């Protein structure tokens, strides 16, 4: 068989999706924004792609007195605004949705929920399989799990003929102690294999592609180390402010909101060693090992290698916007950071001496998340009079959002004189190649929960390790904040790339941030 035919057949085989076994999905907090904006539209797209089991139902559970009729009306409205589906397709989907109003801390309601699940299981023949999705404030996670357990709703069938799984949204804890307490509370009710701590970044196509790019291509893995890579940059920039999340954000800040989960997970995927197989625990084992290699921050390290900022008034996308302290529900003396830049060092054989620069913030110049791997410069230039420092370094960039893709920056000859060199970007866009935008991250993650695949979810030890990395920074800021003159908070105008201190952080190492217009 010619190799081209073999490749085509193999590719087609590897692109087959699996359909989950029959199951029901109970969404706690079903009247909230996440359900309307992400969960129901993602489930509907899975329904359109025939990736939901035929025997399936969604049961919304929340305090709002919607009822099934009101819940379906809301779904119809949300889907009509977000998709071009036919009314009949929407109606077929809505017929599999229900709603039960109640309080999360009322044990009697869980007995009512138990009756509903029994009836819906009979009606839809879901074989006792249920996913419980916690789209609620994290402070009630433990109470919901305990009430579910007391009502006997987390028990799996004999010989595992039926299963029960629980999905928890971020933030998973406010600090290391609260994360440990929350983990311990849930662990009393479920086994770790039943718990899915969700980080929606891990469902993005480009993030999933990191492992395939590294471990399925012989040209990259031999270069993926301190001998060839100069440094790594990870940027998660937003143009929006706090919006409707002010109450949560002002008690959280950028370090807890972005670094504890998204940013450290991206770092782990870039830096981890090859797992023995593409199996959930093998992948998560290697991520844990990598996270444990991050050099701990002492107070002096925080001063020198971490920058925290807060946005002032400015112009974003041609519109004047308010300062953070002028946002609704934000105090005039708030010390909450809306921007963090930090230099991480990894103490292991592969990455010794290679800095990882991470930055994330709100009200920045543009919305984008990407990972840039900057390779070392050539050691010698044969192109006189060009010196090695005149040649731009090779950069591999993984664009996570908004336009997912991959780009590789090279030096190449331009047409014309014999010595005429230019920087060339070889770029791959998911939209250009496949003709459509990749599926939403929640589609991938919801499907994986139903399939029982935990590869893209956070394991307990990983979650607590991530908190332990950041606690010295949080503790230092808390102590410094009590002495106002040493709080260390810097300011930046909205629409910029953050405070000047962030530029100085990387310039001290004779490097510069890579922005999309560079």
For 306-440, where are the alpha helices, taking DSSP H only? 430-434
Domain boundary among 154, 169, 184: 169
Whose tokens are 């047409």? That residue is 415
Q: Residues near 207 by Cβ (< 8 Å), separated by ≥ 6?
A: 201, 266, 269, 398, 400
Q: Are residues 135 and 22 in the same domain?
A: yes
| CA distances for 44 relative to 55, 86, 94, 128, angstroms | 14, 12, 9, 22
* DSSP β-ladder status, 355-361 and 339-345: antiparallel
Backbone angles phi, psi at 399, to 5 degrees: -90, 115
Q: Over the range 31-46, which residues count as b (16 or more CB within 10 Å of their CB) and which as e?
A: bbebbbebbbbbbbbb
Residue 518 corresponds to which tokens in the numbers above?
């560079």
Indicate whether this model's pTM tops 0.85.
Answer: yes
Q: What is the CATH number of the domain that holds 296?
A: 3.30.360.10
144 pLDDT exceeds 70? Answer: yes
pLDDT at 6: 35
Backbone angles phi, psi at 252, to 5 degrees: -115, -70
pLDDT at 2: 38
138 pLDDT exceeds 50? Answer: yes
Q: Are residues 148 and 226 in the same domain?
A: no
Please tell me the distance from the alpha carbon of residue 162 to that of residue 76, in angstroms, as a whole number. Answer: 31
pLDDT band at 204 (very low <50, low <70, confident <90, very high): confident
Q: Are residues 302 and 363 in the same domain?
A: yes
More confident call, 413 vs 379: 379
Tens digits of residue pLDDT in 226-256: 999 999 999 999 999 988 778 888 989 999 9
In a domain, 284, yes or no: yes
Domain boundary among 125, 154, 169: 169
Tens digits of residue pLDDT in 392-427: 788 999 988 888 888 888 877 666 666 666 677 887
How many structural domains comprise the chain? 2
Tell me the three-class secondary structure of 198-214, residue by residue: CCHHHHCHHHHHHHHHH
Q: Are residues 56 and 139 in the same domain?
A: yes
Tens digits of residue pLDDT in 42-51: 999 999 999 9
Q: Are residues 246 and 340 in the same domain?
A: yes
Q: Are residues 213 and 120 in the same domain?
A: no
Question: What's the full length of the chain, in residues?
Answer: 518
In a domain, 187, yes or no: no
- What is the pLDDT averaged over residues 45-69? 92
370 pLDDT exceeds 80? Answer: yes
Q: Residues near 284 by Cβ (< 8 Å), separated by ≥ 6?
A: 454, 455, 459, 462
Q: Which domain holds residue 280?
A: 202-369+442-507
In a domain, 155, yes or no: yes
In terms of phi and psi (left: phi > 0; alpha: psi -120 to 50; beta: otherwise), the region of 313 is beta
Q: Are residues 338 and 451 in the same domain?
A: yes
Provide the mean pLDDT of the chain. 88
* SS3 (DSSP) at 465: helix
* Percent of the chain clearing pLDDT 70 (strictly above): 90
Which residues are catalytically annotated? Answer: 262
- What is the pLDDT averaged over residues 367-384? 85
| CA distances for 20 relative to 173, 262, 387, 424, 425, angstroms | 30, 27, 58, 44, 40
193 pLDDT exceeds 60? Answer: yes
In a domain, 426, yes or no: no
Tens digits of residue pLDDT in 467-494: 999 999 999 998 876 544 445 899 999 9
Q: Are residues 315 and 235 in the same domain?
A: yes
Please tell me the distance from the alpha carbon of residue 52 to that of residue 47, in angstroms, as a whole number. Answer: 5
Q: Are residues 129 and 220 in the same domain?
A: no
In a domain, 434, yes or no: no
In a domain, 514, yes or no: no
pLDDT at 136: 87
Q: What is the CATH number of the domain that holds 76?
A: 3.40.50.720
- The region of weakest confidence among 114-123, 145-154, 205-214, 228-237 is 205-214
* SS3 (DSSP) at 171: coil
Q: Are residues 148 and 223 in the same domain?
A: no
pLDDT at 8: 37
In a domain, 7, yes or no: no
- The region of weakest confidence among 143-157, 350-364, 495-509 is 143-157
Q: Residues near 330 by Cβ (< 8 Å), separated by ≥ 6?
A: 242, 246, 250, 324, 336
- What is the pLDDT averaged over residues 263-273? 95
pLDDT at 4: 36
More confident call, 178 vs 391: 178
In a domain, 179, yes or no: no
114 membership: H or E segment, kind and range: helix 107-124
- Give yes or no for a contact between 366 and 263, defined as CB atoms under 8 angstroms apart: no
* SS3 (DSSP) at 233: strand
pLDDT at 283: 93
Tell me the three-class secondary structure of 91-108, residue by residue: HHHHCCEEEEECCCCCHH
Q: Residues near 73 by Cβ (< 8 Å), separated by ≥ 6?
A: none
506 pLDDT exceeds 90? Answer: yes
Q: Are residues 345 and 209 in the same domain?
A: yes
Q: Are residues 159 and 257 in the same domain?
A: no
């Amino acid at each position: 068989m010619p190799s081209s035919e073999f490749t085509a057949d193999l590719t087609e085989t590897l692109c087959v999706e699996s359909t989950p076994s029959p199951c029901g999905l109970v969404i706690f907090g079903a009247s909230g924004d996440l359900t309307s904006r992400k969960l129901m539209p993602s489930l509907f797209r899975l329904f359109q792609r025939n990736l939901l089991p035929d025997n399936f139902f969604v049961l919304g559970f929340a305090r709002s007195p919607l009822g099934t009729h009101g819940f379906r009306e809301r779904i119809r409205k949300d889907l009509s605004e977000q998709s071009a589906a036919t009314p009949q397709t929407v109606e077929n989907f809505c017929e599999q949705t229900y709603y039960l109003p109640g309080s999360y801390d009322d044990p009697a309601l869980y007995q009512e929920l138990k009756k509903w699940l029994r009836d819906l299981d009979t009606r839809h023949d879901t074989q006792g399989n249920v996913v419980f999705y916690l789209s609620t404030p994290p402070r009630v996670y433990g109470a919901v799990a305990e009430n579910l357990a007391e009502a006997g709703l987390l028990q799996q069938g004999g010989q595992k003929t039926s299963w029960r799984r629980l999905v928890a949204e971020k933030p998973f804890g406010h600090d290391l102690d609260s994360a440990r307490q929350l983990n311990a509370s849930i662990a009393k009710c479920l086994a770790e294999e039943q718990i899915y701590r969700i980080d929606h970044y891990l469902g993005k196509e480009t993030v999933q592609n990191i492992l395939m790019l590294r471990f399925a291509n012989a040209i990259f893995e031999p270069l993926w180390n301190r001998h060839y890579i100069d440094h790594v940059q990870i940027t998660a920039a937003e143009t929006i402010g706090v919006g409707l999340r002010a109450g949560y954000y002002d008690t959280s800040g950028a370090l807890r909101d972005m670094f504890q989960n998204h940013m450290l997970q991206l770092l782990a995927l870039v830096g981890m060693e090859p797992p023995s197989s593409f199996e959930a625990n093998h992948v998560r084992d290697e991520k844990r090992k990598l996270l444990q290699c991050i050099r701990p921050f002492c107070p002096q390290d925080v001063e020198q290698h971490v920058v925290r900022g807060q946005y002032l008034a400015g112009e974003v996308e041609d519109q004047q916007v308010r300062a953070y302290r002028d946002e609704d529900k934000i105090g005039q003396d708030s010390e909450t950071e809306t921007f963090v830049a930090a230099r991480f060092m990894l103490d292991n054989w592969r990455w010794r001496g290679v800095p990882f620069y991470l930055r994330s913030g709100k009200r920045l110049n543009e919305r984008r998340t990407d990972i840039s791997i900057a390779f070392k410069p050539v050691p010698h230039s044969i192109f006189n009079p060009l010196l090695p420092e005149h040649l731009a370094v090779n950069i591999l960039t993984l664009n996570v959002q908004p336009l997912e893709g991959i780009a590789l920056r090279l030096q190449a000859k331009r047409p014309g004189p014999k010595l005429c060199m230019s920087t060339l970007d070889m770029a791959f866009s998911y939209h250009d190649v496949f003709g459509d935008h990749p599926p939403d991250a929640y589609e991938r993650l919801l499907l994986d929960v139903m399939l029982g695949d935990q590869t893209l979810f956070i394991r307990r030890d990983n979650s607590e390790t991530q908190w332990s990395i950041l606690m010295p920074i949080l503790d230092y800021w808390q102590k410094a904040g009590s002495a106002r003159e040493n709080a260390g908070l810097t300011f930046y105008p909205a629409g910029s790339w953050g405070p000047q201190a962030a530029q100085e952080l990387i310039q001290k190492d004779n490097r510069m941030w890579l922005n999309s217009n560079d």
